[in-house]
């Protein structure tokens, strides 16, 4: 299987030195990439600005903004069997990006923002028989919100976690996640698929979480082909 994985934050520049971003370090997506190459899958990793080494055997494409990430995925998706969107894509970007550093005295205290494209929703019409996996990082019980995202974004699987739980979320090497999968109704890509009961995984290394996700993808791909 060719697996396309995204990781890290995106940066949305206001001027050459200031940007909007988030706390993602890319560790979860890089762990999924490592787990996938371990299983012998060709992996393309589209990474936002992170300071992590590329796992050996992984083809890495570096991007900065959400729109660059979307463009990179659009280029790679036709060759791929599965997409794992673990990147923390910025939902908004400044309405304007100045070419030179803005002077403090010339800046307004109000920042005008415009929405970024939702990458998964944009790509949903191209899904076909591919397996799409998303992540839902929430503060507090993530299940309800993750189930909504699973359906809205037409995903096969969503990996939900509460980033406030110790040992889970940003900048650590462990994660405690819950897998919520869409029922395989045979209506591939249907955004109306109900979700199956959540599968709560214990706290474990991000690499082990990645291994569980890769095994899940292998099983779903096999059932789609069979």
Residues known to be catalytic: 22
Stretch that binds ligand C5P, among 54-62, 132-140, 176-184, 208-216 (CB under 6 A): 132-140
Residue 91 in contact with ligand C5P, rule: CB under 6 A: yes
Give the nearest distance from C-beta 200 to ligand C5P in angstroms.
19
- Main-chain phi, psi angles of 32, to 5 degrees: -65, -40
Positive or negative torsion for Cα 89, 35, 208, 60: negative
Nearer to ligand C5P, 102 or 126 (CB): 126
Q: Output the smallest distance, CB 105 to ligand C5P, in A.
A: 33
User: Does 149 contact ligand C5P by CB under 6 A?
Assistant: yes
Task: Return the number of other C-beta atoms located less than 10 Å from residue 118's C-beta.
Answer: 15
Examine residue 134 and tell whether it contacts ligand C5P (CB under 6 A).
yes
Per-residue DSSP letter, 76: H
CB 176 → ligand C5P: shortest distance, Å?
Answer: 17
The angle at the Cα of 3, spanning 150 to 164, to the nearest 5 degrees, equals: 45
Burial of 66 per CB tally in 10 Å (0-12, 13-18, 19+): buried
Is there a contact between 217 and 35 (Cβ–Cβ < 8 Å)?
Answer: no
Which CB sits closer to ligand C5P, 94 or 99? Answer: 94
Which residues ranging from 56 to 75 are in contact with ligand C5P (CB under 6 A)?
66
132 lies in the site for ligand C5P, by CB under 6 A = no
- Cα–Cα distance for residue pair 192/135, rounded to 1 Å: 18
Task: Please give the residue ranges that form the binding site for ligand C5P (CB under 6 A).
Answer: 66, 85, 87, 89, 91, 116, 118-120, 134-136, 149, 153
């Amino acid at each position: 299987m060719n697996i396309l994985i995204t990781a890290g934050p995106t940066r949305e520049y206001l001027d050459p030195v200031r940007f909007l971003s988030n706390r993602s370090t890319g560790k979860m997506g890089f762990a999924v990439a490592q787990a996938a190459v371990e299983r012998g899958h060709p992996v393309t990793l589209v990474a936002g600005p992170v300071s992590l080494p590329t796992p050996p055997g992984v083809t890495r494409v570096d991007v900065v903004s959400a729109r660059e990430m979307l463009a990179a995925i659009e280029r790679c998706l036709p060759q791929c069997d599965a997409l794992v969107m673990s990147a923390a894509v910025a939902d908004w970007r400044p309405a304007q990006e100045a070419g030179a550093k803005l002077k403090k005295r010339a800046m307004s205290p109000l920042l005008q923002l415009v929405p970024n494209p939702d990458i998964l929703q944009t790509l949903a019409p191209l899904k076909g028989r591919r397996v799409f996996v998303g992540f839902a990082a929430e503060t507090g019980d993530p299940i309800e919100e993750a189930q909504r995202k699973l359906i809205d974004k037409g995903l096969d699987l969503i990996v939900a976690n509460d980033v406030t739980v110790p040992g889970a979320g940003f900048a650590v090497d462990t994660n405690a996640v819950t897998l919520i999968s869409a029922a395989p109704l045979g209506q591939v890509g249907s955004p109306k698929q109900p979700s199956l009961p959540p599968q709560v995984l214990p706290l474990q290394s991000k690499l082990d979480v990645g291994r569980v996700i890769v095994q899940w993808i292998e099983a779903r791909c096999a059932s789609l082909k069979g």
